[in-house]
Amino acid sequence: MTRSDDELIVRAAIAAPADLPMEVAARLGDERTFTLLTATSGLAILRKYPTKPDQSQIRDYVEALQARFSDAAHLIKPIVFETLIRFAFGEDDAIDGVDPEGLRTAVFLLPYAIISEQHISGEPLDAFVAEVLKAVNEEA
């Protein structure tokens, strides 16, 4: 079965941020790739938090991420991750003025972090990927 470029980006984002296929990202362009990563992050966040988490829950999670990814802890900025989580819950203006590099780090890291900690694989993983692709294509 041949996978689309969109699917390759989504699957790479949840497999390992360092494995993002750069040639595929280059074909899709920065905007499409960022859209796919943002959608993947958003749906992963909604999978982790069925209801909007409060600030202390987010802070605790960011601290856990910093410990889990200690080599990149300095890149995991609590305000950026909080903003992305709030954005996933419909606060569209939450990302206005957010550090672009911090946001980029968040959308690269969160899908992998969340999906891997939930040990999703097989059919549930395929369903998650399909849900992301459907959401992105409905937006377009």
pLDDT in tens, the chain (140 residues): 558 999 999 999 999 866 788 899 999 999 999 999 999 999 999 999 999 999 999 999 999 999 999 998 999 999 999 999 999 999 888 888 888 888 988 998 999 999 999 999 999 999 999 999 999 999 76
How far from each other are the two terminal CA atoms of the chain, in whole angstroms? 25
- Residue 18: its H or E element: none
Mapping DSSP onto H, E and C, the string for 50-119 reads CCCCCHHHHHHHHHHHHHHCHHHHHHCCHHHHHHHHHHHCCCHHHHCCCCHHHHHHHHHHHHHHHHHHCC
Q: Contact 20/13 with Cβ under 8 angstroms?
A: yes
User: What are the residue boundaries of the structural domains of the chain, listed by start?
Assistant: 5-139
pLDDT score for 2: 59
